[in-house]
Chain A
Amino acid sequence: MAGAVDQAAFVEWLQRIGDNALILGHRVSEWCGHAPVLEEDIALANQALDLIGQCQLWLGLAAEVEGRGRTADQLAYLRDAVEFRNLLLVERPNGDFGQTLMRQFLFDAFHIELLRALKSSADPRVAEIAAKAEKEVAYHLERSADLVVRLGDGTAESHARMEKALKSQWPYTGEMFLDDAVDAAMAQAGIAPLPSSLRPAWERTVSEVLAEATLAHPGEAFSHKGGKRGVHTEHLGFVLAEMQFLQRAYPGAVW
């Protein structure tokens, strides 16, 4: 049974999940027109749109719960970097196709577990958004896992690139499973699972896929953290500069 909900913590938590979708969606959209083949270009654009659609729902709910009359658009376009709550992993630069793909896979494997758990959230609005997003993310994971296997277990060149990608993204995965006071409040209220509780299932998926991809599991590693409380890498500012340009230069512009 759900306990009383700390509204501030709820808004904070909704921004975390919404910002993950927003920033990763923006990163993936950067491939539009640049992907290695036409079919991949369209697939990536679809995925970016899925994520941005999810972000609209999460940030829309965040704005509603916050009750200060803000909208999802205002949260997306008018907050500064320190007010963003996304994981560091999703703001990492796209790099080559292997880097993008590895980032996607490591996040998808976490995202799907989170959404599955959220389907039984004590808040029906959260459960509803999760049910919709889960179908999209199940496909994202199927796709990214398949491509990680194909490229990991591909040519010497693709294997080397995937190995390198794994090594550079891995230290950013630990942050996904860190619990803090906000997470504890959400778990207490029955709204969301503790991030740490998602780790075993994630670890299972990742180990299986990496083994099939003939990539060495990096094991325990140092973990970068800070995104969840607004301490970001230098990359987020550049993402926001591009993403927020229009609303910053022409406040309130519509089309």
Chain B
Amino acid sequence: MSSQWPLWEIFIRGQHGLNHRHVGSLHAPDAEMAIRNARDVYTRRNEGVSIWVVPSNAITASSPSEKGPLFEPSNAKVYRHPTFFDIPEEVGHM
């Protein structure tokens, strides 16, 4: 039965106004039931104040085989990190 139901990706926003975060996936026949199922599966321990559900097949993912060309070039660009500025003492912790 469950193999006939589409897969949904679940995003929950936590208590303190943070962004919705991906928490996992589940099966449901439609969006309304996906929300309900998400409530039962992913908010049992008071985790959330808001739920988003997205059909898994609506997500386009980067390909793992392109990891090198996509991500490695930025490894060598240390100047993109703002670590080369002298912060005056009186500014304190940033």
With both chains docked as a complex, state the minimum distance between the C-beta of A144 and any C-beta of chain B, in angstroms: 11
Cβ-defined contact, A46 with B40, below 8 A: yes
With both chains docked as a complex, state the minimum distance between the C-beta of A31 and any C-beta of chain B, in angstroms: 13
Cβ-defined contact, B36 with A146, below 8 A: yes
Cβ-defined contact, B2 with A43, below 8 A: no
With both chains docked as a complex, state the minimum distance between the C-beta of B12 and any C-beta of chain A, in angstroms: 15
Minimal Cβ-Cβ distance residue in A for B28: A39
Cβ-defined contact, B27 with A37, below 8 A: yes
| Given A46-B44, A143-B36, A146-B36, A39-B1 contact (CB < 8 Å) | no
B36's partner among A36, A37, A38, A43 (CB-CB below 8 A) is A43
A211 within 8 Å of B (CB atoms): no
Interface string of A34-78 (1 = CB under 8 A from B): 001111001100100000000000000000000000000000000
B37 within 8 Å of A (CB atoms): yes
Chain A residues within 8 Å of B36, by CB: 43, 143, 146
**Separation of A78 and B41 alpha carbons in the complex (Å):** 34
Minimal Cβ-Cβ distance residue in A for B5: A37
Cβ-defined contact, B37 with A43, below 8 A: yes
Q: Which of B39-53 contact A (CB under 8 A)?
A: 39-41, 44
- A-B contact sample (20 more), CB < 8 A, given A43-B36, A43-B40, A146-B36: A36-B1, A37-B5, A37-B27, A38-B26, A38-B27, A39-B26, A39-B28, A39-B40, A39-B41, A42-B40, A42-B41, A42-B44, A43-B37, A43-B41, A46-B40, A46-B44, A139-B39, A143-B36, A146-B32, A150-B29
